[in-house]
Every structure is written in structure tokens, then in C-alpha cells.
Amino acid sequence: MQPTESQNLDSTNIDLKSTSEIVQIFHEEDRKAVAAVEAESEAIARAIELCIDAFRSGGRLFYVGAGTSGRLGVLDASECPPTFSTPAEMVQGIIAGGDVALRRSVEGEEDKPESGASAVRERQLTPQDVIVGIASSGRTPYVIGALKEAHAVGATTMFLCCVPPPEQLREWVTHFITPIVGPEIIAGSTRLKAGTATKLVLNMLTTVSMVKLGKVYNNLMVDVHASNTKLVARSIRIVQAVTGVDAAAAEAALAEAGGRAKLAIVMLTKGLNPTDANALLEKHSGFLRQILD
């Protein structure tokens, strides 16, 4: 039996416990998920470097999964454009059953390796791309089919699972990340600890990659896409924090910069017009630190 399907001795008779006692069990088990991810730090760092190499060569990052794993991949991918102004195609999530599976279960799709392979073919992967298969149990056929197809075209393949890596996958997988979280509070409910561990790993894969691509200055999201009132206000605060100008000056510079906080910062600190400021950014590959320091 897979560890993800086993019964957890620490949650035995959970249905007889008080609400407060159950909450405490969750706290204790969630700490195990964090510790399991920390134990994979070296593997995560290596995976990030592979993603950075792919992005720098014009490659893309794909997540592929079913159920909770697929939803978490789509979630992480969908957050990249508003947070870092990345093109929509740069990081993509693929879920068994398609977008409809984001809201409700699509029975049987995760059992079809040919569907995973077909989804990869539709994206026309190249050797510059990276694909991360996500499967808590380490055995989802849809994910394995996708990884085989990606391997066949020479893409970098990774596998994120919460069990020891299956030996048969080593033929098609370049790199493994395996946070071993142990049995779930409710046996088999991998949306719990396994889902938490998966989200923590995905947070790091994209966020650290974007930091290393120059999309963060200090700890500020200077490449934020100001697409709503909240993000416009955040952009103003970011420009103020870096340049020291008042809110009105930051807002005016942002308007002239077409809403691009990073561009507005260069304009204000270097006294440049938008065209020259953009040329300076391009010269430094978008790294604000190299311009300001």
C-alpha cells in the first residue's frame, strides 16, 4: 500500500475527538509537511536552477497533474502573469480533464496515459522546455504519460511526489522532488499534507526563478502587472519605497510608464524618459539592482 493511502496512527478515532483536538492534530501534521519539504531543499534548489536555465534559453515551464495536484499546478501558473508580468505561455498548468476539472472531478481522465501524452503534444514541447509532473502517489497514469511524451522530445522532466520515487520512472524523469509527508489525517486525502507540501514546492519553483530573472528588487514585486485598483495602489507604494518620492509623483511616473513600476523607478532615479529608461533596462536584462547600485 502507498504511504499516501495508509491510515495515520496519530489521527485514529478522530471522529470521537473535540473540534479543538482535531485542529491540534492538523497543526501537528502540517508541521510534518513543512519539515518534509525542507528535507528536499537541495532537490528543490536544483529544480529551480533547471527552470532558470530553461527560461533564459526561451523555454517554458509546464505543470501537469490530476485532481488536487493539477489544480495546484494551474493555480501557481496562473499567478505568474499578475505577479511578475510574465507572458501567459511562460508558465502553464495542465490538468487531467481540462479546465472543467478545476471545479469538479472528471472521473477516469487521470487513468489515461494517452490523454497526458496528447496534452503535451498539443503544447508542442521543445528540448528547451521543463515539465513538472505532480502526483502525490507517484503513479498517476495521466502524469506518467505526459512525462514519457516530454522525455521523447528531449524536454527536461521532473517529478514531484510524496512517496519514494518509483524506479520505473527514472527512465523518463530527469529530476525528482519527493517530500515524504506520511499518511494523511484522513487516509488517502492527499489534498491535505501532500497538497500543502506541493503548494510549498511550487511556490519556490516559480518565485525563486523569477527572483533570479530580475523580476524582484529587494523583496518587492517590481514587475507587478497593475491590472486592478489594488495592484495599482501596490505599484505606487513600490515606486515610493524604492525612489522616496511622494504618492502623487509615483502615480504620475507610473502613468507615463504605462503602469510599469520598474520602468517608472528607472525614470525617476535616473531622470530619463520612458524610451531611454526602457533601453537601460534592456541593456541590463531587466535587472533593476544593476542599474540602481
Task: Decide: 76 and 203 in contact? Cβ < 8 Å.
Answer: yes
Which grid coordinates are listed for 52?
532558470
Q: CA gyration radius for the chain? A: 22
* DSSP-derived secondary structure letter, 30: H
Helix residue spans in the chain (DSSP H): 19-38, 41-56, 67-84, 113-122, 141-152, 193-212, 229-243, 247-256, 261-270, 274-283, 288-292
Q: Residue 158 belongs to what H/E stretch?
A: strand 156-160
Rounded to the nearest angstrom, the gap between the alpha carbon of residue 49 and the centroid of all alpha carbons in its chain is 14
Is 122 assigned a catalytic role? no
Q: Which residue has the cell 486592478?
A: 228
Alpha-carbon gap, residue 271 to 70, rounded angstroms: 46
Catalytic residue, from 110, 149, 184, 251: name it.
Answer: 110
Asked if 238 contacts 261 with a C-beta cutoff of 8 angstroms, the reply is yes
Residue 181: half-sphere exposure toward Cβ, Cα within 13 Å:
34
28 is catalytic: no
Catalytic residues: 79, 110
